[in-house]
Structures are given as C-alpha cells and as structure tokens.
A and B are shown apart, each in its own frame.
Chain A
C-alpha cells in the first residue's frame, strides 16, 4: 500500500506503514532534515512542520494523517532562492546558540504570521510558549520573531496579488 503526500509542493508516493510518525518519513525516507527529533512526544516543538499553513508536531502525527494536506518543512520555506522572511529575520538577529530548536521556532512563527500578520509581543510569546530552547537564546529568538513580523509585512506589500 502506498500513501500519496504533498510535501513542499511536490506530490510524493511512498510505500511506508501508515502509522509511521510523519517526522520519520520526512527525515528518513525523504531526506528532509529541517524538522528535528527532540522529545518524540510533541512536547518540545523541534519537529514542527507546516500542514496547510498551520504548525504541527510531526513526531506525534502518523504519516497517514498528512494525506490530502500540504506539508511544508523548513527545507521548503524558501521560494525561488529567496529565504522566507522569518528565516531571514532569524539570520539577521543571529538568534541561534546550538540551533536545534530553531526549526520549530521558525515554523511556529511562520504559522503565527499566516494566522495573524500583526501579532503583539504577548501573542508571539504565547505562540512560542511550548517551543523549548535549552540554550537560553530566548531573548534573541523573540527579537528575531519581532523582526520577522516587520520583514514579513514588507514582503507582503511587495508581492503583488496573484
């Protein structure tokens, strides 16, 4: 039995057990190493991916749950060689220590901005509350997030409606 998935805009047909965690399929079968394995229990957020534009913890989702939805990983955020505004903001703010959690941070902020393009500082903190960082880079990460809001707004204005 094969599953049909749409990942980073590409149709993929995979012969994998439907109960495999989505994260395992992304990393092991598709070599998409943006999402990281952290806790394996949906607690830390390192494994986050976007599904239909919403953040999702891919370590607790069976791959079958993604059938019929659009999955975007960190690897697929950049468009036409242009980094996503959120990625650019994290580089600009140099918001990394070890960097293991950053996939989750970036995906979560992307999910937040998809829902609310002008979040307040509180809303950003609430969105990131359950993304764990053990290096203590929180201040830089919040700065990066706030910068992302600005760059994202500019990018939205520049992009003509399609």
Chain B
C-alpha cells in the first residue's frame, strides 16, 4: 500500500489551479543504493530500463532516463506511482559493505581524563521536508525554467538548476508555494529535500516538454538519509599538564557546507571535482577562530567555486563544532568551560564580555539548585558558547562578540528539551530581544514540528492533535491558485541566515544548546537537530549500554520459531519450562513511588499510552472503580479475572518497580516471578517502545491507589499451573519491540505500532490456536470470538456488505459510527471510547493500517454508495414469509429501525441492510445486540438500543434473527442452530422479571 497522502493527492488535478491542470505528474525511481559520504556521491549504476513492463497500464507514460536518473511521467499521480512501481529497472550494484550503516548522529560516552582530544562534528546535508506534503512543479519551456515549490535555500537551488539545464540564472525563476503552513520556511541551517524534488521536477519537465508536478512527501526522507552529512569538522587538541591546549587542529571537510540535489548527481550534471584542502587565510572564507593557541592549524577542504557557498551557514557550522569541542575538552579535563576559553582568548573586548555575561547569568551557581524539587524524569543542564560574528563588511576580526549561556531541562522519557533560560551578551549592535531569541531557538533548534529543522517522526511519537492530516492534505490538494512570492533574484546569500534572527546570529545558538544538553544528560550531541526523538533515542541507547544489555533484544529467527512450533507437544512444553526464563525470580518490592516522581509531561504521555492500550477496559469491572480489576474473562480454559493496576501497595502494583512493570508488559511475568496468562496481551504490549512503557508506568503510579480484594481465577488443570506459561512463551511469544517497516509510510508505521502493540487489535481480531496463542500469517486479523462476541475479520476476509474504506474505518474508530456500516458496540465500544483520548493523527494512522490489511481503498466510491442505496431500497420492499419474525420486528424494532418518513431523534442511523453483523457467517453479534442492546455509555450520542433478554424467549430471538438475516442479508445463507447459540449466549444477560422504573 502506498501512503495515505498520495491516495488523497491523486484526486488533486480536478478543479485546482491552472498550473496543476496543465502539469503532468512525475515520480522518480531512485537506485536501490545511493549515498553521499565524505565528499563523494556513489550510487548503483543503471543498466537498463524495460519500458515493456508498463504495457499493461493504460494512458501515455513517459520514462525519463538521464544517466542514473530514472523517472516516470504520466497524466495522473496515481498512474505515475503505479508505473514507477511496475517499471522494471536493472541496476549494477556498487554497494560497499563499509557503506551499509547510514549516517548516524554521533554520540559518544564520557571518557576518562586524558591529555589529548579528538572529536568530529557533523551537519546534515538535508533537513526534512517539513510536516506538510506538497506539490513541487517545474515548467521548462522556451529556454526558461520556472519552479514552484518550497525552498529554504533559493540560491543553492538556483545554482543546482543552472548546472542541470545550463540556463542562465536569470532565466530560472523560483516561486514560493507559500501557504499559511510554510511561513517559517527560511532556514539558515541548510537545505531541505524540497530542493531535490525541484531538481527532479525540472529534469523531467525538460525531458517531456511539459510542466511536471512532483509530490513532495515522506518518500523524500530517503534522500535525507542518503545524503547524510554535508559537513564534517574534525578537531584535535593536545593538552599540557596544566590543562592548557598546547596544540589545536581544526579540519573542515567541505567549506561550501551544502550538497547538490540528488537528481543532479544521478543525472551526472554535478561534475565530481577534486577537493582541495587549503589552510586558513588562503582564499575564500577561511575557518576562523577567536581563540589563540600556541600551535594551531585550521584548514578547510573546498569544492570548486561552481558550488554554492553560504557563509552564514558555514559560520554556524564552524561555531557549533568549535564551541562544542572546547566544551568537551573542558569537561573531560575537568576545567570550567568558561575558564578554559578565557585562557585562550587575548581579545580584551571578548574577555570583558564573557566575564560580564557569566556574572549576570550566575554561571558558577549550579543549574540544579535543589535536586529534590526536580521530578525523576527531568534532567537539567547549563551550557556556554562564544562566537565572534562578522561585521557588515564580512570582517570577522572587527565583528561583534557574542557570549551565550543557556539552561535546559530534558525529559529523559519523552526526550523533550525545554530551553528554560537564555542569557546573551553582545558588545555591539542593537539590543537583543532575549525572550524572542529563546522562543526562536526553542522552536527551531529543539522544536519537533517545525519545518525549519524538520521534525523526524517516529512510530512512537505522540502528537498533540495538531497534526491533522486532512488539513494539511487539503492544502496540498488544492494548491492556492496564486503563488505569490517570487524569490528575489538579487537575494544575497547572507539574507537567508539573517532572516532567522534579527539582532543576533544563530551561530552560538546551536552550540550553546549542545553544551547544555551535555551538562544535563552526559551525552554529547555532535550533529543537529536535537529534536525530542533524537534526544530520547540517544538516552535510550546510553541507558541500554549502561545496563549492559543490547537495547533491542535479539529477535528470535523465524525459522527457529517454526521448528519449535512443529515440535509442540505438552511434554516438550514441560521440558522447556525450566530453561525458558533464566531470570523469572521475584523482583524486590519497592515502596510506592511518590506522586511527583515524574513530571506532568511524562504523565500526560502515559495517559495517552494508557488510552491507546485501553487498560481500563479490561481492568475495570462493570460499574467498578477504574483500573481496580475484577472483570471476568471467559476463556476456553476457564474464567480469568483482571487484576488491580492502581498503585495500591497491598493489592495493586504499588510495590512494583519499573523493572517489574516492564517485565510484566514485555514478558508476561508478574513481579513475584509467576507467569501471567496471555489474556493480558503482553504478546502485543511487548512491542511498545521503552519511552512509552516508562510513561505508562509514570501515569499508573500517579493515580490514586485503591485497595481491592483479588478474585481467584477459575482455570481447569493443566491451565491452572502458571509455570507452564514459560513453555508457552517460548513457543508463542516474541518479546521483540516494534520495528518500523522502512518501506512503508510514517502513517502506516505509526498505525502498525498502535494496532499491533498498544492497541492489541489482534488480541481480539486474530483467531487463536488450541493453546490460546494468536495465529499469524494468513490468519492474522482474520476474525475471532471473544467474550461471546465475534470480532470480525480485519483482513481481506471482511464480510461487510459495502466494502470498508479507510475513511469509513476512521469514522468508525473516531465517531463510533460509520454511515455505511453501523455503530461500535459490545467490547468495541470501550475501545472507541479509549481512542477518543488520542490525537486525530493516531486514529487516522490506525485506520490507515487496518485499511492496508483489508486492502481497502481510501474512500468509498460512488458505486459503493449507490450499491448501499440499492441495498436499503430492496430491503424495504422484500417481505419474506417469516411471519413470527416479522411480527416481532414490527412490534419491537420497526419504531426505530424502519424509516417512517418523519425524522425522529431516537431512530437508528444506519439501515440494517448495511449492518456488517447481519452479513457475518455467525449470528453471535446480532444475538448479543438483541439480548443486551447497544448502549452509548462509552460513546455518547451513538446507539441507544434496549436489550430484549427480559422480554423475548430464545425462540422469539431466533425467529427475529432469522427474519433479520432473510430480509436484510438476502444473499446470505440462513444461519444454522440459532436457538442453541442464543441459549449459549444468554448466560450473562438478565432473564428474570420485567424491570420497571
């Protein structure tokens, strides 16, 4: 399945701007391997393209081949996407084993004190495209190129386009597709992949002689990864015995700081020129250092002048590397970072400024005045950075001195970094609005959702609900007819950086945060951006290393698992029980964590995690207190009761340490070492990320403790022997955390993470084998029976009369009702209620994932809707000869379920002819609904049907169910043995006297 944004995008051409109407649609086919690394671009080489492989597709399709660049142009984005998928392309592999690992943010552990230091700092070649997929359109005609799109680096883009087309820069016009989302597009921290899309579009437009539109979305994230680091600065220092830096080496890999677009490299238009290293002061913009060392060497390799240079960006990169390095040297040699800098500064203006700023910010005082007041999940740190900025004539020596001190607060669970305080001193120039600067830095260097640095979504990121996809997509669907801003052709290179901050430069800003982050976490971030996900990932990795275990448990290979399955037998299970878990002992009880142990932010994240996992649905008995347990679960093995998960020390989980909690969630082992039964879906919860589990623990521990007596399970032997679960786990449980599928969209991976993990959809919707383990493979989400209800198939086996679509699934999950399918009832009702807590994006992601399992389309077609109307019409007319059932229906149901021609407030909103349950192979859900009714206690405003258990006999319910089936699902075979099924299901429902108010 392609991702949802594309599916919506394909409807775009209808009635949108003249621009898109004229354009054709281009999709690129990148080589399996392509990478920029260490100043060189390498990729698989194109052998050939088989255009005959597109013969089955109708409509004109152009295949554009230029060097190793392959693109497909068609009259619709959908067709172009299909063609790109179908096109047979042969590549010759040039992949080298050493190149396998993608550029990773360098993070290193603290080293012991030492006499020399060597560190490297990186800068990404591309920022992400931002949050909002959008069109990039290029029109190459009459020796003129016009490009509509988004760029943070118009000068560099123009230069790329110039090299691509050999057109004069004056014949290349860039138009900004500015909408209200992209006002903060100007960067100063580098190019984003909109430039790559623009070059792709231009290349294809020139080849086909038509305007070409390219859909810039998550797929361009691959370019971001492939281009890796644009900049790598290596610093070395030798220290004398008194801690002075005796020898200082600064080597910059790439003075231009920017990397040409992928299309340019692939097509061969970017000539790969030799890099030349030249020392400071030779030509161009040499590396500059405000410090003086006894023995120093500063050098930068430069590419030919034909490549764009951005002095502002280079200034920021240099300051980041230099100031981070000095901070590292100071910390590792146990010197004060400011004192070390002052030792190497001869400039009186600078010294005075630094001293005054340090005094004003109370540098000497710890940033952590009272650690008790701080929640356990918060870390605080303070950092310093200093820089000398060029003056108007670009003279650095005469420029402005700027000293910064920043305080940060890091949430070690969520990874969020708050810039809590910023003190900036400058010895010249206009006054600085520090508050505004702080805001800007927070948003742009640390911000997760700003296009500026690009957020890097992870599958376990919890949105704030602001990522409403529809909104963004609709803006992309209907590109504004006017593309107002023309990038000024005379825009000076520096202007891009200046646009970011007025009155102060950004250059020390990135370093000061990196230094404060180190102070807080002990981790050195040697490449921006420092978004929450990256910070969290780094913290997770470091804590995993500390714990002396790999961060990701080694996944059992599939073949091994299969072999175990084949050998499954009771004796084998007993045999493996002893060796299955070497560490299933009790985990020592702890006293209940204090309520303020975790910050509000973490607890809030935990609340969302709990909502997605719907803990309360199972851990709350009917009418009972939330999460105190006691709810009964009928299983083929006996009755199980849910437990108290409030932090009560005696009867709840108050004495559980996080380690115990995590073990229970991932391995199904209680704190005392006994095994839990997989009615508790730890098989799914194991996929939850560490951060989410910790947040969930924080949330549960912050709830009021409630004491509740425990109800003993009633299981038959041998299932009552908990220890046997060890063998079960070996056979059926894979505790590996969720791994996103890199070939799928973010939306899909987010949906998969929620649905497979916390949402534990498969716990109900996948059939289980004789041992109570979920079946996988083709049986995954194939439907099952739980608690006397049928959980219908969520794969291609769906029996819905009108096929489900992604849009219907979203309505159903978000509103508890889909007009083409009916309402969420039974055990699904509390699930929808739980989902109501989640941001819209998450519910959309689940719908997207489930739709992919069903191979459902994005929306229902007109034919579907017409089919639904046809169904309703024919069910109104048909009168099968089932008198007893008809009488019951007319008396009990028709008042609400038959349209009288007058709208009423209490009538059912979905016609029974569309009800999925009536079309199922099993009558269970229909029987359940007749007996128990449909109640809206979980989803206000949806479904209020009384139960008829007290007024109908089994025969009457059977007559009614048979009648309903015949009238509303006439094409389906009648259900068999309905009355027997009713007798089985009636048990939990009341069957005594008629109740009166």
Contact = CB atoms under 8 A, between A and B. Distances in A.
B430 interface: no
B94 to A, nearest CB: 65
B934 to A, nearest CB: 10
A41 B904 contact: no
A127 B937 contact: no
Interface in B499-547: none
B902 interface: yes
A43 B257 CA distance: 76
A149 to B, nearest CB: 13
A85 interface: no
A27 B904 CA distance: 21
Interface string A58-76: 0111101101010000000
A127 B906 CA distance: 14
A95 B796 CA distance: 57
Interface string B985-997: 0000000001111
Interface in B71-106: none
Contacts of A12: none
Contacts of A59: 946
B995 A60 contact: no
B901 A55 contact: no
Interface stretch (A86-94, A109-117, A135-143, A151-159): A109-117
A112 B895 CA distance: 14
B996 A56 contact: no
A51 B891 CA distance: 23
Nearest to A60: B946
Interface in B753-793: none
Interface in B387-417: none
Contact of A51 (B905, B945, B997): B905
A126 B901 contact: yes
Given A28-B997, A43-B892, A56 B941 contact: no
A52 B905 contact: yes
Given A23-B997, A45-B895, A56 B905 contact: yes
B892 A64 contact: no
Contact of A127 (B900, B994, B997): B900
A37 interface: yes
Contacts of A55: 902, 904-906
Contacts of A54: 902-905
Contacts of A123: 901-902
Contact of A130 (B895, B937, B994): B895
A56 B902 CA distance: 11
Contacts of B994: 40
Nearest to A71: B905
A129 interface: yes
Contacts of A67: 940
A123 B951 CA distance: 31
Interface residues of B, number: 27
Contacts of B937: 18-19, 62
Given A54-B905, A57-B906, A65-B936, A130 B900 contact: yes
A24 interface: yes
B895 A42 contact: yes
B342 interface: no
Contact of B891 (A19, A43, A116): A43
Interface centre among B903, B948, B996 (most CB of A within 10 A): B903
Residues of B contacting A: mostly: loop
Contact of B944 (A27, A37, A62): A62
Contacts of A130: 894-895, 898, 900
B900 A19 contact: no
B935 interface: yes
Contacts of B951: 41
Contacts of B449: none
Contact of A42 (B902, B903, B906, B996): B906
Nearest to A132: B891
Residues of A contacting B: mostly: mixed
Nearest to A64: B940
A107 B997 CA distance: 22
A123 to B, nearest CB: 6
Contacts of A28: 997
Nearest to B952: A41
Interface string B884-900: 00000001101110101
A111 B997 contact: no
A21 to B, nearest CB: 7
A55 B902 CA distance: 9
Contacts of B996: 37, 40
B622 to A, nearest CB: 12
B940 A126 contact: no
A115 B891 CA distance: 24
A37 B896 CA distance: 17
Contacts of A43: 891-892, 895
B601 to A, nearest CB: 28
Contacts of A127: 900-902
Nearest to A23: B997
B946 to A, nearest CB: 5
Interface string A1-29: 00000000000000000110101100110
Contacts of B895: 42-43, 45, 57, 130
B946 A40 contact: yes
Nearest to A67: B940
Contacts of B900: 126-127, 129-130
A60 B944 contact: yes
A41 B948 contact: yes
10 contacts: A40-B997, A41-B892, A41-B951, A42-B946, A51-B905, A54-B905, A57-B895, A60-B896, A126-B900, A130-B895
Q: Which 6 A-B pairs have the closest CB atoms?
A: A56-B905, A130-B895, A51-B905, A56-B906, A54-B905, A55-B904
Interface of A: 18-19, 21, 23-24, 27-28, 37, 40-43, 45, 51-52, 54-57, 59-62, 64-65, 67, 69, 108, 111-112, 115-116, 123, 126-127, 129-130
Given A24-B997, A55-B904, A61-B944, 16 more contacts: A28-B997, A37-B996, A40-B994, A41-B892, A42-B906, A52-B905, A56-B905, A57-B906, A60-B906, A60-B946, A62-B936, A62-B937, A64-B940, A65-B940, A65-B941, A108-B902
